[in-house]
Structure formats: C-alpha cells, structure tokens
C-alpha cells in the first residue's frame, strides 16, 4: 500500500474560454455591453503591464514554449493530456485559464478579479455565461473535474441563491465568491445567511481565490500588490468565523485558494488565544455567536487550497492541520507546477510521511469537493507517481518517527508547549 501510486487531486486549476467565445453562453440582452467589454481589453492589458503583473518578454516566451498545452485551458481532450502528464487524476476548476494575458477572461471581469462592487446585472450575466460553459466542459469527464461556479454574492440574495441551485443542477461542485465586498455588505452580515444555507444544502464549498485587491492604492508597485494579495482572500475567513456563520451553518465549508497556508498557524494561534482567554477570565463572553474555539470550526469547516506548498509551510502542517492542506498545481498558470509537477513534488515532499502526503495531495480534497475516489482509482493507477518516484523512503516507520516530536507538539497553545516544533528531529 505504501507503494501504490498517488491519487492526486489538484485543488487549484483554471479553465476559461477565449473571451469572445463566451458570446453564445451570454444572455443576448448583454451582447452590446459585451462588445464594450471586448473593446477594453488592450487598455486592461496595458494596466497590468504598468503594475508589472505582466511582463512582455516573459509572455512571449510562455506562449511560444507552451502553445499546445495551453489550449488545455478550454479544450477538454488537450486538458486530459496535460493532467495525465502531470500525474493529476482530478482537479478543481477555477476561472481564468490565461493568467498572463487574460485572453480567457470571463465577460465583464467576473473571473479571479470578481469584486463586490461589480454591477449586479452585468456580474450575474457574466458569471452565468462562464458557469454555463463550465458545466458543459466538466460534463465531458465529470469524475475528473469539479467546476467552480462564479457567484457574485453581493447582489440580490434571491438571485444568488437561485444561481447556487442552478449551478448545482448543471453539474458544478463549488462556489467562488469575491474576496472583497468593497462597498457592499461585509460577509458577517446576516443578509448572507440564505446564501450560506444554500451552499451547505447543496454541499457546495464556498471558496475565495487570490487576484482581487485594492490596486488603486498600489501605484505601479508590484511588490505591494504581491505582499498583500493573499491577505484579501483570507479575510472572509475571520469575518465568517467571528460572526458565527460556521456555528449557524455547520454544513458550510469555506476555503481560500492560491494564497498559501503560511499565514494560518499565526491566525489560528491568535484567534484561539483571544477566544480561550476571554472564556477563562469572564462569566459573559464577548463571543456569544461562537460555541467552541476557532480551531474547532477550522478543522470542521475550513480548508486551504494551498497550491504549490512551500517547504516552510509543510513544516507547519501540524499547526495548520494536515487534513486542511489541499495541494494544487495551478494548471495552466505559469506560477504553478505544470508541466513539471513530478519533479516539483519530489523536491517538496521527499521527506514527508507517505500517509500524510496522500491526504494533502488528494484524499483531503476528495472529501471536501466530493470526488469519487473509487472512480478515480484506475486513473491514479495509470498516471500517478509512486512514493518512490517522489524519493520517499520505504522505511516509513523511521520517517514517521523523525516527525514525531513536531506532530506531538502540534498546536502548541493547545498542548501546553510554548513553541511549535518544526522540521525533522
């Protein structure tokens, strides 16, 4: 069993049509606005270049070197070839295949840049266009894809709830909400309760993905953008948690994608201490909406689509929770591991216990997103790398032992230790 190939599920991949091809999926009432949107593409590309998010020379080389594989962004047959080549049996499919030139942006910018201040009518129309196409796309191989529906959640609640049910019935499996509500109601607001209830009822996890940020504040300083672009998608986590959304909706699952997981141990330590400290000293709690400490909600309902996990992050996995870390390749983005996933996995996971690697590379994601591991098993058997391929030792007893101290201390504030213990001992 230690030698079985890995069942790898990427919890962070991207697909999207070349923008103009969304037209037939878009309600014809919005075709005129769609022409205006298409006409603005050059201007938006210039803005990205100015901020430094886009680099002309890099873009040329990227498209030249990967011309065929990048078609997997919207071509199902090509996509399977690329997933197979990477050893990835299944995937969670976010929008915006093209992260370099935005050639596959969904109508009206409702992809990764989806933001709370989007015009509600255009936002829902654009989201539905993408959602309709994506449902078709994933239906070709439903066992290998979980399509993420775009959900402009700050709009009219009835329409948002209706779109959740429509998306679910169409075959999509998760919901992406904007990281930023901007001028709309923050996510602690009870107005969203019917939305969270519908997400729980349909079993669709709610996810944010990095991309949107208050760029108007950054000038043309790329470093500022990159330094905080992972903070904005993680922010809804503490808005939901402290307002009791996880308590009121125990079936709600919430995740943060492509924002790393390095920030989670500090956040959890900080929130647990706040909650437990208040409960230790006072009869009446200022946190009446919570019935248990933050880490219990986290382990029960929160997950991190941690994408290309760093070694520093893996060292912190006993604080984060091994089952809360969902690896992802970010195919077909250049910041991801495609098309060199096998090498990348070897460099990153070589000394991690096999049992834990299985959770982080696929089994945890299967549970969160509802993949059928029995159906995926033959695919994994055919394409998955083995522990040996990842350079992992046959002597797993020794490997487990080398991490024993780190695992035992775990979340040190709950195990009566002052410090975390990171790394092999």
- From the CB of 188, what's the least distance to a second copy, in Å? 5
- Give burial (CB, 10 Å; 0-12/13-18/19+) of 284: exposed
Give the chain's end-to-end CA distance (angstroms, integer). 26
When the beta carbons of 98 and 330 are compared against Mn ion, the nearer one is: 330
Selection from Mn ion, a second copy, none that 235 binds (CB < 5 to 8 A by kind) is a second copy
Choose the one of a second copy, Mn ion, none that binds residue 258, judging by a C-beta under 5 to 8 angstroms depending on kind: Mn ion
CA 329/CA 341 separation, integer angstroms: 7
Q: Which is nearer to a second copy, 189 or 367 (CB)?
A: 189
Considering only residues 282 to 341 of the shown chain, the ones binding Mn ion according to CB under 5 A are: 330, 333
Least CB distance from residue 273 to Mn ion, whole Å?
Answer: 16
Query: Binders of Mn ion among 3-62, rule CB under 5 A?
Result: 12
Interacting partner of 188 out of Mn ion, a second copy, none (Cβ under 5 to 8 A depending on kind): a second copy
Q: How far is CA 415 from CA 274, 410, 424, in A?
A: 17, 7, 19
Mask for 208-247, x = binds Mn ion (CB under 5 A): ----------------------------------------
Of 108 and 269, which CB lies nearer to a second copy in the complex structure? Answer: 269
Q: Which residues bind a second copy (CB under 8 A)?
A: 52, 55, 58, 186, 188-189, 217-219, 221-224, 226-228, 231, 235, 238-239, 241-243, 262-263, 266-267, 269-271, 274-275, 282, 286-287, 289-290, 311-312, 315, 412-413, 418-423
Using CB under 5 A as the binding rule, whether residue 258 contacts Mn ion is answered as yes
Strand-pairing partners, residue 99, are none
In the block, tokens 């079993």 appear at 203
Min CB(224)–a second copy separation in Å: 5
What does 12 interact with, of Mn ion, a second copy, none (CB < 5 to 8 A by kind)? Mn ion
Distance (Å, rounded) from C-alpha 412 to C-alpha 224? Answer: 32
- Sheet of 145-150: strand order equals 9-14, 90-94, 145-150, 174-176, 206-209, 254-257, 302-307, 325-327
**Is the CB of 149 or the CB of 360 nearer to a second copy?**
360
Q: Hey, what long-range contacts does 53-62 have (CB within 8 A, 24 or more apart)?
A: 53/222, 53/225, 54/100, 54/101, 58/100, 58/334, 59/100, 59/101, 62/100, 62/334
Burial class (CB in 10 A: 0-12, 13-18, 19+), 248: middle
Nearer to a second copy, 116 or 147 (CB): 116
Supply the minimum distance, in Å, between the C-beta of residue 112 and Mn ion.
8
What one-character-per-residue DSSP string does 251-305 give? T--EEEESS-STTHHHHHHHHHHHHHHHHHH-SS-S-TT-SS-HHHHHHHHEEEE
Axis-axis angle for helices 31-39, 41-51 (nearest 10): 40
The alpha-helical segments, DSSP class H, found in 98-221 are 120-139, 157-170, 193-202
Report the distance separating Cα 365 and Cα 56, nearest Å: 35
CB of 184 to a second copy, least distance (A): 11
Q: From the list Mn ion, a second copy, none, pick the one residue 343 interacts with, judged by a Cβ distance below 5 to 8 Å according to partner type.
A: none
- CB under 8 Å to 113, separation ≥6 — which residues? 211, 212
CA-CA distance, 28 to 13, in Å (whole number)?
Answer: 29
Minimum Å distance from CB 209 to Mn ion?
Answer: 6
378 binds, among Mn ion, a second copy, none (CB under 5 to 8 A by kind): none
**148-207 positions binding Mn ion, by CB under 5 A:** none
Radius of gyration (C-alpha) of the chain in whole angstroms: 21
DSSP code, position 327: E
For a second copy, the closer CB: 229 or 252: 229
Residue nearest to Mn ion (CB): 333
Least distance between a second copy and beta carbon 273 (Å)? 9
Q: Which is nearer to a second copy, 30 or 218 (CB)?
A: 218
Q: Answer with the entry of a second copy, Mn ion, none that 243 interacts with (C-beta below 5 to 8 A by kind).
A: a second copy
- Pick the closer one to a second copy by CB: 140 or 425: 425
Closest CB to Mn ion among residues 2, 66: 66
Applying CB under 5 A, the site for Mn ion has a residue count of 4
Name 367's Cβ contacts closer than 8 Å, sequence gap at least 6: none
Check if the beta carbon of residue 124 is closer than 8 Å to that of residue 131.
no
The binder of 238, among Mn ion, a second copy, none, by C-beta within 5 to 8 A per type, is a second copy
CB of 412 to a second copy, least distance (A): 7
Angle ∠(136,92,314) on CA atoms, nearest 5: 170
Residues that bind Mn ion (CB under 5 A): 12, 258, 330, 333
């Amino acid at each position: 069993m230690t030698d079985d190939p890995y069942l790898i599920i990427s919890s962070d991949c991207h697909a999207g049509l070349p923008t103009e091809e969304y037209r037939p999926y878009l309600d014809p009432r919005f075709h005129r606005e769609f022409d205006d949107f298409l006409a603005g593409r050059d201007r938006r590309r210039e803005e990205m270049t100015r901020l430094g998010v886009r680099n002309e020379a890099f873009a040329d080389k990227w498209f030249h070197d990967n011309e065929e594989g990048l078609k997997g962004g919207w071509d199902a047959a090509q996509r399977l070839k690329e997933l197979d080549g990477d050893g990835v049996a299944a995937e969670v499919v976010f929008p915006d295949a093209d992260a370099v030139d935005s050639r596959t942006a969904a109508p009206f910018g409702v992809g990764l840049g989806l933001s709370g201040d989007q015009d509600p009518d255009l936002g829902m129309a654009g989201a539905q266009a993408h959602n309709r196409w994506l449902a078709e796309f994933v239906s070709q191989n439903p066992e290998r894809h979980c399509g993420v529906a775009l959900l402009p959640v700050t709009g009219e609640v009835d329409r948002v709830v209706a779109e959740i049910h429509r998306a679910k019935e169409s075959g999509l499996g998760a919901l992406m909400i904007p990281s930023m509500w901007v001028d709309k109601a923050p996510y602690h607001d009870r107005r969203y309760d019917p939305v969270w209830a519908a997400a729980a009822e349909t079993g669709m996890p709610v996810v944010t993905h990095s991309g949107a940020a208050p760029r108007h504040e950054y000038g043309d300083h790329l470093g500022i953008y990159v330094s905080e672009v992972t903070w904005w998608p993680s922010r809804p986590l503490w808005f939901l948690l402290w307002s009791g959304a996880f308590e009121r909706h125990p079936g709600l699952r919430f995740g943060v994608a492509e924002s790393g997981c390095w920030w989670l141990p500090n956040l959890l330590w900080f929130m647990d201490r706040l909650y437990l400290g208040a409960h230790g000293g006072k009869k009446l709690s200022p946190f009446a909406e919570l019935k248990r400490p933050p880490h219990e909600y986290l382990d029960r309902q929160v997950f991190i689509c941690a994408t290309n996990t760093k070694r520093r992050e893996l060292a912190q996995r006993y604080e984060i929770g091994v089952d809360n870390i969902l690896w992802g390749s970010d195919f077909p983005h250049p910041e991801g591991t495609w098309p060199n996933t096998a090498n990348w996995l070897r460099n990153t996971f070589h000394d991690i216990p096999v049992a834990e690697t299985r959770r982080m590379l696929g089994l945890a994601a299967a549970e969160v997103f509802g993949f059928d591991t029995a159906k995926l098993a033959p695919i994994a058997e055919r394409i998955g790398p083995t522990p040996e391929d990842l350079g992992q030792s046959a002597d797993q007893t020794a490997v487990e032992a080398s991490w024993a101290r780190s695992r035992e201390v775990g979340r040190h504030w709950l195990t009566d230790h002052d410090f975390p213990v990171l790394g092999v001992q």
